[in-house]
A and B are shown apart, each in its own frame.
Chain A
Amino acid sequence: MSFDRLHNPPKLALRIFRWYCRPERVEELEGDLEEVFFRRLKNGGSAWQAKGFFWWNIFRCYKSYARTKTQNNSIMTSLFKSYFKLALRHSWKNKWSVLINVTGLGIALSMCVFMYTLYAYNFEFDDFYQDTDDLYRIHAMTFENGQERRNETMPIALEDKLRNEIAGIEAVSSYFARNVNIKKGNEFFTEYAGIASTDLVDMFEMPLSYGSYEGFGERPLIYLEKPLAEKLFGDEVALGKELTVYFGDAEKVEVTVGGVLDKIPLNTSFGFNLLMNQRDYLQAMDMDPNDWSNKRYEGQYLRLNANRVEQVAKEINKYVKLQNEGHEERKIAGFEVVPFITKLNADDIMYRKYGNGRLRPQVYIIFTVLISMIFLTACFNLANTSMALIAKRLKEIGIRKTLGSGSKQILLQFLFEMGIISFLAFIIALLTANTTSGMIMGLFGANFLLQDANLTGIILFVLGFLLFTTFVAGLLPALYAWRFQPISIIRKSVKLKGVNWLNKILTIAQYSFSIAVLAAGITFSQNSDFLKNLDLGYTDESVFDLDLGSSEYYVQMKQEIEQIPGVVTAGTQNHLGNFGRYSSQKTLEIDTATHDVRHYTIGPGYLDLIELEILSGRGFIEESEAEEKESILVTKSFGDAYFDGNDPLHQIVKIGGERKTIVGVVSDIIDDVYEDSELTPTVFALTRKAELRHLIVKAQGANLSEIEDRLKLVWSQNIDKPYDGVLQEDLALGDAGRDTKNLQKIFVAMAILGGFLSIVGIFSLAKLNVAKKIKEISVRKVLGASIKGLFYTINRSFVIVLLLSMIVGCSLGYFISDAVLGIIYKYYVDVSAVTIAISGLFILIISLMAITGAVAAPANANPVKGLREE
């Protein structure tokens, strides 16, 4: 077939088609439309032309293929037609204010749509896999600091037992993911590999774009995600190509490409760039899969009959003993079997061995609060301007009522007009949603777009929101228009007092929100700086961590790097930072109780280099052999956790089965700043072996980027792997540090947007207000009022509104920032009242300038013009 791999019909169009088309005809019609598309390409049509026609066809075909046909009611149709015409005419007359409203609302809604995709990410998590009813996960339960923890890390040796010794299990698969280096020719690529048992592709959908799973598990095959295939082979067909995958420096396997995967959405449990078989991995690593002490852990998944779950769970627990004998250092309390689709947050699982998890709920809270505020600002802005515009349309309403139009119809028409504005805004929102999402999510290195979410959900959400906006922004003006008596309108005796009053409340609300958003934005920026300078218990300034991966390069690297002037180095096996990423867990025994405790094995000089403070006792005596065997340092929280807050100095405990004396207590290490983080009791032990994995480099007073260049150079001369060094500042708080920086950017952007909407809002309000008062201004001018006096009179009413909103907005901003920060972080900056007051003043001044601008034109104009009008 004339299958052009480069160009495919637009995905979104296809999805829309599948959504509306009658299910029994989808296959043939989709085939036809695609064939037309490819024919057009083959006949020399350009790709964008073919795509355009494809979209056109999708829309053209709606009438004939849709599930149900809409029934036409002729009276309603003509009524709506005339509403539509009126609304268009009216919008055209006020095109600028409509344009501003549509853009503002559009951008605010686009954030709401983004918000929706974030929610969809979680509640559609793993929806991609079908028929998961009979699939289960196994968790290993451990106790840490007295708390029960779930780990989705199972000993690899369990797999064979599950498959062969327990009745009722229909299929078993293991999965874990890790970075590997792929070698193609002479080039290296670091990619994220999913390593799975053969059964995984039967249990979970992993659709292939081309290729097949035949032979998976029999010979070394590799399956690439499409972007990776394109990166490696460009336009060529990847099937059958040969690659080398490196797991370590020498551990490698020659693989053949068995296929290219279709896109799997980000919100699925198994996230990877490439898929390989566990058998090949174990062979390359020279590991016995049935050895209980091989220290290999992974997620394990079962397919079994629902009524066998309890029995199977009981039988699996037989192997707890085998596991604990094999892994002295990491004992578990038991196994549990839970349905695959169990909704567990990333935080509920302590250790997991695969790419994707659900999002932290904190992410939602913060975005929801801010986006709703911006959204409401935009809505109020819309309501505000339309209320003000009604004053201009009083005569229209009066005449229509006189000619027999019912109140209901007037109400409907106003709502309809609002509906059109929000509909236009929605088109903008949908068009920009992916850009918004890309800009926000891209900062976090993720990409979850509109088309990855379920289409029906999106459409329902959009419709619901459309109605909501229409009502929030449209109901008030519409109700107003409805109430007027035609006779008083024509007589010009109608009082608009209520309108002004409502306008003021709306303006205050709108202003308060934008001041609050701005204040929150600035506070978040300050918080980011606060976290950057937070005392972590050790120094993270000018410190590089080079993760050598293994110890073989250590001596050579250390020697060469110490040649660089202004540099000190130290080595360690486990390095601090990033949620304790490099730490190990060891069993701690005090009297008869056992606990899992975080453990760092460090090299000589390490504590001095990172400036870890010794609170009591002493540091390590680095020349002593006995020190290595018998002494440990612990953090302050260790005493709190295991010695009821007493000083644990000189106590004797067992770590990993060996007796150790606590010779010193050091300050606690902060490596997580989120609200639920706790200071983790930590043990340090000394090793004098020169073979260490991390080389820590501290640059004293030298230029950091210069030093980093030198480090990279030394690395490339010694190690045949990509450079893996990082500045401790970036590593110390792991994702939290990065997230904070990104949140800062997002908040500043949102604050600017909120402020912009408000200023634009008050500008159009001022203009309308001035237009109403044009006669007053002219008469005053004729009677000799100075321009200054005019500004004063007109600004006076606004100043009261602005001052009120400043008070409301500042307090709102204060409480919201404090509450949001408190929900997310454990350590956060004190919200400063001064900052918030300044942001309030800032908005106030800018607004006064906008108003003055609006008043300037009529105040300076010839009063004759103003008086001659009408």
Chain B
Amino acid sequence: MENIKLGNFEELVLLLVGVLYEKAYSVNIVDEYEKQTGKKINISAIHTVLYRLEEKGFLESKLSESTGERGGKRKRLFYLTPYASRALDELASLREQLRYQIPKQALTWKEG
């Protein structure tokens, strides 16, 4: 397995971009994040991560068409790259594998 450099939060954002497919832009991602995790986050954090992920090749982006919304200012929409999809799969399966390798005894505790 090649060395995938993807932080925890970065992975979460990648997943959210995937979930929001075609509607994934920063403000929506903030909303979705707050809805899914119940935690607050500042938009600047999301922006930073999105641009970093794009730099790393996990995301690609394009500007949307200009519409009447937002005073005609365009949004930047993000899409997963094949590399991201592979990375997400690998990370997910790695986690799953590890989860099932934990012996049952390690997860049982005596009362008291």
A286 at the interface (CB under 8 A from B): no
Q: How far is the CA of A31 from the CA of B71 in the complex (A)?
A: 8
Q: How far is the CA of A33 from the CA of B26 in the complex (A)?
A: 10
A65 at the interface (CB under 8 A from B): yes
Partner of B75, one of A32, A36, A61, A63: A32
Q: How far is the CA of A31 from the CA of B64 in the complex (A)?
A: 12
Q: Which of A1, A27, A28, A65 has the most CB of B within 10 A?
A: A28
Q: How far in angstroms is the closest Cβ of chain B from A5?
A: 12
Q: How far is the CA of A27 from the CA of B75 in the complex (A)?
A: 8
Q: Which of A29, A35, A60 has the most CB of B within 10 A?
A: A35
B68 at the interface (CB under 8 A from A): yes
Binary flags per residue of B37-62, CB closer than 8 Å to A gives 1, else 0: 00000111001100100000000000
A34 at the interface (CB under 8 A from B): yes
8 A Cβ contacts from A30-45 to B: 30-36, 39
In the complex, which residue of chain B has the Cβ closest to the Cβ of A64?
A: B48
Partner of A60, one of B27, B44, B63, B70: B44
8 A Cβ contacts from B3-27 to A: 25-27
A28 touches B44 (CB 8 A): no
In the complex, which residue of chain A has the Cβ closest to the Cβ of B46?
A: A32
B69 at the interface (CB under 8 A from A): yes
Partner of A57, one of B25, B44, B70: B44
Partner of A33, one of B43, B48, B51, B69: B43
Q: CB-CB < 8 A to A57: which residues of B?
A: 42-44
B86 at the interface (CB under 8 A from A): no
In the complex, which residue of chain B has the Cβ closest to the Cβ of A38?
A: B70
B68 touches A32 (CB 8 A): no
Given that A34-B70, A39-B27 are contacting pairs, would A28 and B43 also be in contact in the complex, using a CB cutoff of 8 Å?
Answer: no
Q: How far is the CA of A63 from the CA of B68 in the complex (A)?
A: 30
A36 touches B27 (CB 8 A): yes
Q: How far is the CA of A31 from the CA of B27 in the complex (A)?
A: 10
Q: How far is the CA of A31 from the CA of B30 in the complex (A)?
A: 14
The tally of CB-CB contacts under 8 A between chains A and B is 53
Given that A28-B76, A31-B74, A34-B73 are contacting pairs, would A61 and B44 also be in contact in the complex, using a CB cutoff of 8 Å?
Answer: yes
Q: CB-CB < 8 A to B69: which residues of A?
A: 1
B43 touches A27 (CB 8 A): no
Q: How far is the CA of A28 from the CA of B73 in the complex (A)?
A: 7
Q: How far in angstroms is the closest Cβ of chain B from A477?
A: 41
A61 touches B47 (CB 8 A): yes
Q: How far is the CA of A27 from the CA of B72 in the complex (A)?
A: 9
Partner of B27, one of A30, A32, A63, A64: A32
Partner of B26, one of A3, A32, A34: A32
Q: Chain A: how many interface residues by the 8 Å CB criterion?
A: 19
Q: CB-CB < 8 A to A3: which residues of B?
A: 71
Q: How far in angstroms is the closest Cβ of chain B from A43?
A: 11
Q: CB-CB < 8 A to A30: which residues of B?
A: 73
8 A Cβ contacts from B54-106 to A: 63, 68-71, 73-76
B74 touches A27 (CB 8 A): yes
Q: CB-CB < 8 A to A61: which residues of B?
A: 43-44, 47
Q: How far in angstroms is the closest Cβ of chain B from A847?
A: 53
In the complex, which residue of chain B has the Cβ closest to the Cβ of A29?
A: B47
B27 touches A28 (CB 8 A): no
In the complex, which residue of chain A has the Cβ closest to the Cβ of B69?
A: A1
B47 touches A64 (CB 8 A): yes
Q: How far in angstroms is the closest Cβ of chain B from A209?
A: 10
Binary flags per residue of A19-32, CB closer than 8 Å to B gives 1, else 0: 00000000111111
- By DSSP majority rule, is chain B's interface helix, strand, loop, or mixed? helix
In the complex, which residue of chain B has the Cβ closest to the Cβ of A30?
A: B73
B27 touches A35 (CB 8 A): yes
B43 touches A32 (CB 8 A): yes
Q: How far is the CA of A1 from the CA of B70 in the complex (A)?
A: 7
B75 touches A31 (CB 8 A): yes
A28 touches B71 (CB 8 A): no
Q: How far is the CA of A63 from the CA of B73 in the complex (A)?
A: 23
Partner of A28, one of B30, B42, B48, B63: B63
Q: CB-CB < 8 A to A33: which residues of B?
A: 43
In the complex, which residue of chain A has the Cβ closest to the Cβ of B43?
A: A36
Partner of B44, one of A27, A39, A64: A64
Given that A36-B27, A57-B43, A60-B42 are contacting pairs, would A31 and B48 also be in contact in the complex, using a CB cutoff of 8 Å?
Answer: no
Q: CB-CB < 8 A to B74: which residues of A?
A: 27-28, 31
Q: How far is the CA of A64 from the CA of B42 in the complex (A)?
A: 12
Q: CB-CB < 8 A to A39: which residues of B?
A: 27
Q: How far in angstroms is the closest Cβ of chain B from A1?
A: 5
Q: CB-CB < 8 A to B44: which residues of A?
A: 57, 60-61, 63-65
Q: How far in angstroms is the closest Cβ of chain A from B17?
A: 15
Binary flags per residue of A393-420, CB closer than 8 Å to B gives 1, else 0: 0000000000000000000000000000
In the complex, which residue of chain A has the Cβ closest to the Cβ of B76?
A: A28
B73 touches A27 (CB 8 A): yes
A31 touches B43 (CB 8 A): no
B73 touches A31 (CB 8 A): yes
Q: Which of B43, B68, B69, B76 has the most CB of A within 10 A?
A: B43
A35 touches B70 (CB 8 A): yes
Q: How far is the CA of A387 from the CA of B97 in the complex (A)?
A: 72
Q: CB-CB < 8 A to B68: which residues of A?
A: 1
B27 touches A65 (CB 8 A): no
Q: How far is the CA of A31 from the CA of B76 in the complex (A)?
A: 10
Q: CB-CB < 8 A to B63: which residues of A?
A: 27-28
Q: How far is the CA of A30 from the CA of B76 in the complex (A)?
A: 11
A31 touches B47 (CB 8 A): no
Q: How far in angstroms is the closest Cβ of chain A from B72?
A: 9
In the complex, which residue of chain B has the Cβ closest to the Cβ of A56?
A: B42
Q: How far is the CA of A65 from the CA of B50 in the complex (A)?
A: 12
Q: How far is the CA of A729 from the CA of B41 in the complex (A)?
A: 65
Q: CB-CB < 8 A to A1: which residues of B?
A: 68-71
B25 touches A32 (CB 8 A): yes
Q: How far is the CA of A60 from the CA of B26 in the complex (A)?
A: 15
Q: How far in angstroms is the closest Cβ of chain A from B20?
A: 15
Q: How far is the CA of A25 from the CA of B40 in the complex (A)?
A: 24
Q: How far is the CA of A34 from the CA of B70 in the complex (A)?
A: 7
Binary flags per residue of A55-71, CB closer than 8 Å to B gives 1, else 0: 00100110111000000
B47 touches A32 (CB 8 A): yes
Q: How far is the CA of A57 from the CA of B63 in the complex (A)?
A: 22
Q: How far is the CA of A39 from the CA of B71 in the complex (A)?
A: 14
Q: CB-CB < 8 A to A32: which residues of B?
A: 25-27, 43, 47, 75
In the complex, which residue of chain A has the Cβ closest to the Cβ of B26?
A: A32
Q: How far in angstroms is the closest Cβ of chain B from A346?
A: 37
Q: How far is the CA of A36 from the CA of B45 in the complex (A)?
A: 14
A64 touches B26 (CB 8 A): no
Q: CB-CB < 8 A to A36: which residues of B?
A: 27, 30, 43
A34 touches B43 (CB 8 A): no
Q: CB-CB < 8 A to B30: which residues of A?
A: 36
Q: How far is the CA of A135 from the CA of B26 in the complex (A)?
A: 43
Q: CB-CB < 8 A to B26: which residues of A?
A: 32
**26 A-B interface contacts by CB (under 8 A):** A1-B70, A3-B71, A27-B74, A28-B75, A28-B76, A30-B73, A31-B71, A31-B73, A31-B75, A32-B25, A32-B26, A32-B43, A33-B43, A34-B70, A34-B71, A35-B70, A36-B27, A36-B43, A39-B27, A57-B42, A61-B43, A61-B44, A63-B44, A63-B48, A64-B47, A64-B48
Residues on A close to B: CB < 8 A?
1, 3, 27-36, 39, 57, 60-61, 63-65
10 further interface pairs, Cβ-Cβ under 8 Å (given A28-B76, A31-B73): A1-B68, A27-B63, A32-B25, A32-B27, A34-B73, A35-B27, A39-B27, A60-B42, A61-B44, A64-B51
Interchain residue pairs A-B with the least CB separation, the first 5: A31-B73, A64-B48, A61-B44, A28-B76, A31-B70
Residues on B close to A: CB < 8 A?
25-27, 30, 42-44, 47-48, 51, 63, 68-71, 73-76
